[in-house]
A and B are shown apart, each in its own frame.
Chain A
Amino acid sequence: MSVACNAVRLAIVGLEVGETLPAPLDAHLSTCLRCQVEVVRHTKLERELAALGDVVETAPPSVIDSVAAGIVLGVDPEDEASMNLARVVAATGALVAAAGTVAVVRWMRTRSVA
């Protein structure tokens, strides 16, 4: 790889959106296929990174409950123990709710059998 190719590679990585290479490097670029490939790759990377901003990951279902528990309990975010307590309370609430559902389902089954 030539000195000019190296300079182009370094310059491309630092480019902001819409910025162009300095004239001497641009002149080299117009004649160097390898550097043209680098520009295409940089543009692809730039676009793909920007597009990642539109991708939303799903938060764990426990988030809402643990935040709600944290607020009700008035936990201090600086205090790890109280943050853990909020998680435990949320998890316990979820378990109790699940157990309640099971109990209701069983009760309904016995009613329908009777």
Chain B
Amino acid sequence: MTTGEVRPDEKDVLARARAGDQDAFTELVRAHQHEVYTLALRLVADRELAGDVTQEALIRAWRALPKFRGDAKFSTWLHRITVNVAWSLRAKARRQAADPIDSAPHDPVAADLSPELGGEGADLRPRLLAALNELTPELRAVVVLKDVYGWSHREIAEHLSITVTAAKVRLHRARKRLQDQLWQEVEEAS
């Protein structure tokens, strides 16, 4: 995961926001809302829930801003908050319903994509997104954070409240399932 200073052009806005300037924070929201939403969507695989995660993560960021020391990139810090919120909202949604996230392999995101499982030369991305959405939230979170966002096993374990070993096992399972799903039809056709 990338760490370092905040972008120079963002420093001033960030300083104003930390001092309580709401307009400055709105500027930061404008700049980062899409990346926060994207991460939330990758984790929860549900556009409506991802919108809620984005809203809550950004409000939590505002409240926690005075504690932001700047030893990590602002976006990295936002990502951490987003993962925590996604995980807790997912758990809440699970308690409130009969877990539509876990039991809905044909969720809106996957349905939008309507993946065509073609040959190996076919565009992999829509099939990959559909395959990711078919994973359980536990497996999806690990593979998204590790292989898409480049988090370490230690960071993943910390944020998902699991052991490093469990993170590695889940990653292995997630990759295996993605492989199986992506190339299953190719195997069957050949």
Contact = CB atoms under 8 A, between A and B. Distances in A.
Interface of A: 13-14, 38, 41-42, 44-46, 48-53, 55-60, 62-64, 66-68, 70-72, 75, 77, 83, 86-87
A59 B175 contact: no
Would you call the interface of chain B mostly helix, strand, loop, or mixed?
helix
Contact of A55 (B22, B38, B175): B38
Contacts of A62: 51
A58 B143 CA distance: 22
A56 B34 CA distance: 6
B interface bracket (residues with beta carbon within 8 Å of A): 35 or more
B183 interface: yes
B42 A52 contact: yes
Interface of B: 22, 25-26, 29-30, 33-38, 41-42, 47, 51-52, 54-56, 58-60, 62-63, 85, 120, 124-125, 128-129, 143, 147-150, 168, 171-172, 175-176, 178-179, 182-183
Given A52-B148, A71-B59, A83-B55, A59 B128 contact: no
B35 A45 contact: no
B178 A64 contact: no
A41 to B, nearest CB: 6
